[in-house]
Amino acid sequence: MATGLIGNINAYDSNVETWTSYQERLEQYLMVNDIDNERKVAKLLTLPYEEL
């Protein structure tokens, strides 16, 4: 179980930043929190997002 994650990241929002910028931040977030390839999809599917 992942506890004590460093930083936070929300779902992608094109009104806030470019995809390239988001992708770079996401890669750094996953790396610093040592989230392995098998768990990356699960982490992405659980990112918080705001409904319109």
Mean pLDDT of 25-31: 94
CA dihedral (4, 50, 31, 6) in degrees, to 10, reads -30
CA dihedral (38, 9, 46, 34) in degrees, to 10, reads 20
pLDDT at 50: 63
What region does 4 belong to: left with phi over 0, alpha with psi -120 to 50, or beta? left
pLDDT at 26: 93
- Looking at the predicted structure, is the pLDDT value of residue 3 above 70? no
